Structure 1
Amino acid sequence: MADPIPAQAPPRSATDFFSDPLDSHPLWFKPSLFLSPNFDSESYISELRTFVPFDTLRSELESHRAALNHELIDLINRDYADFVNLSTKLVDVDASVVRMRAPLLELREKIEQYRASVDRSLVALKSGLKQRSEAASAKETLQILLDTFHVVSKVEKLIKELPTVPADWSNGDVNVAERNSMSNGISAQHVENGMNLRETQSMLLERIASEMNRLKFYIAHAQNLPFIENMEKRIQSASLLLDASLGHCFTDGLEHRDANAIYNCLRAYAAIDNTTSAEEIFRTTIVAPLIQKIIPHGASTVVAGSSIDELKNDYQQIKQCVEKDCKFLLEISSAENSGLHVFDFLANSILKEVLSALQKGKPGVFSPGRPPEFLKNYKSSLDFLAHLEGYCPSRSAVAKFRAEAVYVEFMKQWSVGAYYSLRLQEIAGDLNSALTTTSLVPIQNINSGQRNSRELTLKQSVTLLESLRSCWREDVLVLSHADRFLKLSLQLLSRYSNWLSSGLAARKKGNAVSSSGCEWAVSAVPEDFIYIIHDLNCLASEVCGDYLGQVLQILSSCSAAVLDSVKLSILHGGKSLEDLVPLVINTIIEALVEKSVEDLRQLKGITATYRMTNKPLPVRHSPYVSAVLRPLKAKGNLKVSRSPFAFALPEVLLEGERATIYLTRETRNELLLGAATEITGRYYELAADLVSVARKTESSLQRIRQGAQRRAGASSDVSDNNVSDTGKICMQLFLDIQEYGRNLAALGVEAATIPAFCSLWQCVAPPDRQSVISL
């Protein structure tokens, strides 16, 4: 016998005196509620959570579960002997199992038989459904074949009602007897209603076309069937007869401008999805003869050489012909709710014939080799296309017209890219030729008194401005390529700026051989750069002013964002010109300083004048001082020369006629102050170096003299009242800078405001006069 199940120890003893009894529970915990048939755990917990914490509730539930497990084990152990002895009480169980198995096997057999029967019924049902579907499909195919046969027969019958000779019905109205002989009751009914034979014919053709449309539908759903293949010849024959008859009727309607007949024919063409034939008939019948008269394209015409003729007059005549002879059909095809929107006579008839005539009669108009004529013809063509678009009833029709293959092919004929390349070479080539000269080229009569300060003075600058304006001239600009011409304008400004900056850099280095195209800057005299400053200011003002306004006016149809970008780019180009003005001013200043330094170097002779001599203290300035600022003064007479830039001496730079006309007062003051500051700085460097050397030399001689006297035992005979050579030199320099300061004041420059002059004053002035600068 198996051992009983060991009982688990209770969580606490029932006789534990220090805790609650085993079966004790809080007042809020009622295990009896768990046995209720309507017990809901969620509602039970939601009721207790208001006053019982979750931890307390969980602990109480776990205690209750442990108690229940303990009780269950106790019950099993209590009746464990009876549970084990249960197997010994089961007598003859195998026999009972055999008895129970027989009816179960019988039931299984019946179920399998029923399942087999159901499977057979299902197979039969599926087979019947399949046969039914095949029958329906065969019936549908048969119905299509029957409908196809009926439609073919109907079409053939209707075609037989058409006149066999176009001349029989192209003459308009005929008598009733003739109509009755050519038509059935339907056509006779139309005749009785007063309709002419042409309109009746067009209505009959529209009906035939609708039947042919049905026939195409049937054939599409019954392809590769022997019946259809056998009827293929009949169908093709009927289709050919329909096309021929429809073409004759449409042609006759166009010649007589029969609106009703044309409308019916167009509906017929639309029904059979053969818009191309209608467009081609209109092109060859109406458009081609008109265009042939305007633009003959025979072999003799091409040889005669009319390829460079302008197209403006030709387009004007074509517009008149379209208005007079083609507008009626365009109005019919574009009528609202007419269903004829599938036709595009503008592109596939009119424009196609015009393109063909131009290619055959005037092929030279598409060549950009002659840019002026090419641009005129291109703009005339755009105007002609815009005129044709005026016949489109809606924006969608315009979009459809522009998307047509003929329209695209027509636009491809105009090589605007090649035209721009030629204009680029032309405009940029002129500027490049002007900038590659070895010297600055003044414009003619630059020295005449008729010129004013607002006009450009150099050919290079004039060429730049002309090139910039050429980019936006009406006879040059292609608005669709405005971005390219804007780019060209900016490139021209950049080319001019680079030419000038490179020349200034080469001049500063003093070598033009290494920089090709910079020879002009090295060979130019300082006066030449006055023209450059003037032209830079004029160009910057023009580019950022009237030129910018002109460009924005031309591009006024663009968006605000595009206009802002264009404005910023052009203003940036103008600013690049303004930024070059300080560089040119510095170049002039450097030239003036170098000229003045040549005279300043004469102060080195002061040392030789007073060293080891008995000359008294100087009482007047040196002669070289008057020549230091000579490049800034207006002295001397004009010197005539063959060169337009050599008519004035360097001595008349800032106060000469050229500077007063072409430089503003602010620029002249800037040049004057800059040159004076630089000259004074160089003056201070030379003088300070001279004084320093003199003092060092005097100190060395003094030590040698004192050593010799000590060795000889003689006392010094030099009185303290005697002035040393260095003192004489400093006094001479002091008198010189006083005169220099007075010369600066005569030019309008206050010497005391120049730091280098103050340093020079402190270096050479006597001790009692160093605190105050007085000239």
Structure 2
Amino acid sequence: MAPPPAMDLFGEPIEAHPPWFKPDAFLRAGFDADAYVAELRSYVPLDSLAAELRAHLAALRAELVGLINRDYADFVGLSAHLKGVDAAAARMRAPLADLRDKVAAFRAGASAALAALREGLQQRAAATAARELLELLLDTSHVVSKVEKLIKELPTAPSDSSNAEIPINDTGTPNGKAGTGVRETQSILLERIASEMNRLKFYISHAENLPFIENMEKRIQGATKLLDGSLERCFVDGLEHRDAKVIYNCLRAYAAIDNTSSAEELFRTTVVSPLIQKIVPQNYARAVAGASSDELEEDYQQIKACVEKDCKFILEISSSENSGLHVFDFLGNSILKEVLSAIQKGKPGAFSPGKPKEFLRNYKVSLGFLDFLEGYCFSKSAVTKLRYEPAYTDFMRQWNVGVYFSLRFQEIAGGLDSTLTNTFSPTGLNEAQQKPLLLKQSIKLLESLDSCWSDEVLVFSHCDKFLRLSLQLISRYTTWLSCGLSARKASDRSPNSPADAEWALSIPIEDFIYVSYICNNV
């Protein structure tokens, strides 16, 4: 039996460990020695903690020795109670060995079956891939043959408007409805061919670098060339006759084969270019000779009328809902591109900032024309798309507003500086402008500031630069006036006097009253 615990003077048991040391903490499942030490070291010295741990270890060892000594007789007599264990173990060894052999045989059979199953799955996957590839090649061959057949039917079908004879009605005139039906039938057939060509491109993209596809390359190129030619003729015919159904079908065909640029270029050369060439002269020699000016306002008015009359129909077709034709951009790649080309060839001087007044007028009416084109956009995203088109970017790049501002800067700032450096001559009331300014230089400053913000000079995209110019003008005038007054007050006629002070030193005292009057009223 364990000895009774020691008692203190008041009859309470004396604890063997200090209150902060809890031996039960070592028996917890999630005990962490580092965390335990880190927690105690904040208020217990490490030496004290180490001493308590050593004392606890010694107590545990003593308890272990006591337990062994207490049950030593049973431990020694354990071998006497194990008689017959070897015989029992021998009897159990045979069935266990047999079971082990059976498990090993079963494992080997399962491994062989698993290997055979995996090999079969691999063969099946290879066979499936080969079958899919074969089906893809067969579908490709079938689509190529179908496209060739449909293209061959185009010249002989009643859809060929170039070869087919248009019926004549009783009055002896061509039957317009029959011609419309011919074009519409051809456009429908071309849309179907384009859809098949789209399928063909999809098949080819999944079977590249195969000998079968390489052998069919010439056939595919020939079919593509025939389709492009037939679709071009049908689309041009539809544009010439303003046939909305034909144009719609042709545009869907161009969208199916992802060839929107060809449709935009055909519309530009067929419809837009002849109209623009009638408005803007294309002969540069005539422009140089003065047969036509570089003004663009009247030209833009005529171009807007032509767009409204002759181009609006295709813009409405391409922007119709659920049509899939929003990929076309006739505004930028057809209309604006042709307008830019016509101006560059017929009126190249319109982009020159060498004539600031004409340049600014042309620039503002050009921005108005761009706003007119953006009015045909059906959504905000369409406007953003138009502004990022290469034609739109090239058009805006032609207007070198930076050079224009530099010229205006030299004109306005140079004029004021010239006035300030000239001989001083005060003036009376400016009756023409009704501005009670007494100095010619003050009048020039006000005129310069008015010029910076007048409609005939200001460009809103460069408002910050014109604001800075206005502040520079005021600063220049202030410096000129301050230098003159300081020099007059000091009566400094030395050769080192600044140039801005010469006017104050050369005028009589009576004329200087005008300057003093201004300074007192500023």
Structure-1 residue corresponding to 2:246: 261
Which residue does 2:473 correspond to in 1? 492
Q: TM-score, normalised by structure 2?
A: 0.81
Residue 470 of structure 1 corresponds to 451
For residues 351 and 500 of structure 1, the distance between their equivalents in structure 2, rounded to whole angstroms, comes to: 52
2:499 paired with 1:532: no
CA offset digits 1:641-700 (Å, max 9, x no partner): xxxxxxxxxxxxxxxxxxxxxxxxxxxxxxxxxxxxxxxxxxxxxxxxxxxxxxxxxxxx
Name the residue aligned to 1:660: none
Counterpart contact for 2:154–2:160, Cα < 8 Å: no
2:505 to 512, 517, 522: 522
CA apart distance, 1:100: 5.0
* Aligned pairs for 1:240-259 within 5 A: 240-259=225-244
Q: 1:308 to 1:83 in 2, by over 3 A?
A: same
Please list, as runs of the form range in 1=range in 2, the aligned pairs for 1:230-629 lying within 5 A after superposition. 230-298=215-283, 300-305=285-290, 308-437=293-422, 439-443=423-427, 446=428, 455-509=436-490, 510-511=492-493, 513-514=495-496, 515-535=498-518, 578=522
Measure the CA separation in 2 of the matches of 1:73 and 1:200: 108
- Looking at structure 2, the residues matched to 453 and 351 of structure 1 have their Cα atoms a distance apart, in angstroms, of 47
Cα separation, 2, equivalents of 1:536 and 1:229: 91
Counterpart CA distance in 2 for 1:142 and 1:417 is 63
Residue type of the alignment partner of 1:400? K
User: What letter is aligned with 2:135?
Assistant: Q
Counterpart in 1 of 2:100?
108
1:300 is displaced (CA, Å) by 3.4
SS, match of residue 286 in structure 2: helix
Structure 1 residues 128 and 447, CA, compared in 2 at 3 Å: closer, same or farther?
closer
**1:225 counterpart residue number:** 210
Q: For residue 72 of structure 2, what is the aligned residue in structure 1? A: 80
Matches of 1:375 and 1:154, distance apart in 2? 59
1:11 maps to which of 5, 9, 12 = 5
| 2:140 matched residue in structure 1 | 148
Matched with 2:190 is 205
**In structure 2, C-alpha distance between the alignment counterparts of 1:220 and 1:175, rounded to whole Å:** 45
| Alpha-carbon separation, structure 2, partners of 1:409 and 1:168 | 39
Deviates more, 1:197-206 or 1:483-492: 483-492
1:696-717 CA distance string (max 9 Å, x none) = xxxxxxxxxxxxxxxxxxxxxx
Distance 1:167 1:156 in 2: 16
- Figure out how many residues of one structure are paired with residues of the other and give that number: 468
Look up the SS of the partner of 2:155 in the other structure. Answer: coil
Letter in 2 for 1:442: P
Q: Secondary structure at the match of 2:154?
A: coil
Q: Do the aligned partners of 2:350 and 2:359 also contact (CA within 8 Å) in 1? A: yes
Q: Compared with structure 1, are the counterparts of its residues 205 and 17 closer, same or farther at alpha carbon in structure 2 (3 Å cutoff)?
A: closer
Other structure's SS at 2:335 match: helix
CA gap 1:536/1:475 in 2 versus in 1, 3 angstroms: farther
Compute the displacement of 1:298 (Å).
2.9
- Distance in structure 1 (CA, Å) of the matches to 2:432 and 2:250: 75
Q: Structure 2 CA distance, aligned partners of 1:395 and 1:171?
A: 45
CA distance in 1, matches of 2:209, 2:154: 31
1:472-505 Cα shifts (integer Å, max 9, x gaps): 1111111111111111111111111122223334
Post-superposition offset of 1:338: 1.9
Distance 2:328 2:434 in 1: 65
Candidates 106, 109, 126, aligned match of 1:134? 126
What whole-Å deviation, never above 9, does each CA across 1:542-574 have from its counterpart, x for those lacking one? xxxxxxxxxxxxxxxxxxxxxxxxxxxxxxxxx
Q: CA deviation at 1:83?
A: 2.5
CA RMSD of aligned residues (A): 3.5
1:170, 1:198 within 8 Å by CA — same for their partners in 2?
A: no
- Shift of residue 173 of structure 1? 7.8
Return the alpha-carbon distance in structure 2 between the equivalents of residues 332 and 383 of structure 1: 24
- Contact 1:8–1:70 (CA under 8 A) maintained in structure 2: no
Greater CA deviation, 292-301 or 320-329?
292-301
Q: Distance in 1 between matches of 2:162 and 2:274?
A: 20
| Closer/same/farther in 2, CA of residues 326 and 84 from structure 1, 3 Å limit | same
| Letter in structure 2 aligned against 1:472 | W
Instruction: Spell out the pairing of 1:711-722 with structure 2 (5 A cutoff).
Output: none
Shift in Å, 1:216? 0.9
* Partner residue in 2 for 1:545: none
Structure 2 unaligned blocks of 5 or more? 15-60, 169-176
Assess if the C-alpha contact under 8 Å between 1:307 and 1:365 holds in 2.
no
Verify the 8 A CA contact 2:238 2:247 in the aligned structure 1: yes
Alpha-carbon spacing, 1:498–1:71, altered in 2? closer, same or farther (3 Å)? closer
Contact 1:427 1:470 in 2 (8 A): yes
* TM-aligned CA deviation for residue 141 of structure 1: 1.2
How far apart, CA to CA, are the structure 2 residues paired with 1:488 and 1:18? Answer: 99
The answer to which structure, 1 or 2, has the higher relative contact order (CA under 8 A, 6+ apart) is 2
> C-alpha distance in 2, partners of 1:201/1:89?
107
Paired letter, 1:406? A
The aligned counterpart of 1:763 is: none
Q: Which amino acid letter does the alignment assign opposite residue 421 of structure 1?
A: S
Identity %: 64
Flag the 1:447–1:255 CA change in 2: closer, same or farther, 3 A: closer
- Counterpart residue type for residue 277 of structure 1: S
Contact persistence 2:336–2:391 (CA under 8 A):
yes
CA–CA separation in structure 2 for the residues paired with 1:329 and 1:518: 69
Q: Which residue type is aligned with residue 514 of structure 2?
A: Y
Structure 1 counterpart of 2:33: none
d(CA) in 1 for partners of 2:450, 2:368: 24
Write the distance in 2 (CA, Å) between the matches of 1:533 and 1:501.
11
Aligned to 1:710: none
User: How far off its partner does 1:170 sit?
Assistant: 4.6
Q: Is the 8 A contact 1:198 1:249 kept in 2?
A: yes
Contact 1:287–1:349 (8 Å) recurs in 2: yes
Q: Measured at CA, do residues 18 and 534 of structure 1 come closer, stay the same or move farther in structure 2, by a change above 3 Å?
A: closer
Cα pair distance change 1:501/1:17, threshold 3 Å: closer
Q: Based on CA coordinates, which of the two structures has the bigger radius of gyration?
A: 1
TM-score by length of 1: 0.55
Q: Whole-Å Cα distance in 2 between the matches of residues 252 and 395 of structure 1?
A: 33
1:167 Cα deviation after fit: 11
Query: In the TM superposition, what whole-angstrom CA distance separates every residue of 1:592-637 from its partner, at most 9, and x where no partner exists?
Result: xxxxxxxxxxxxxxxxxxxxxxxxxxxxxxxxxxxxxxxxxxxxxx
C-alpha distance 265-104 of structure 1, shift in aligned 2 (>3 A): same
Residue aligned with 1:160, SS: helix
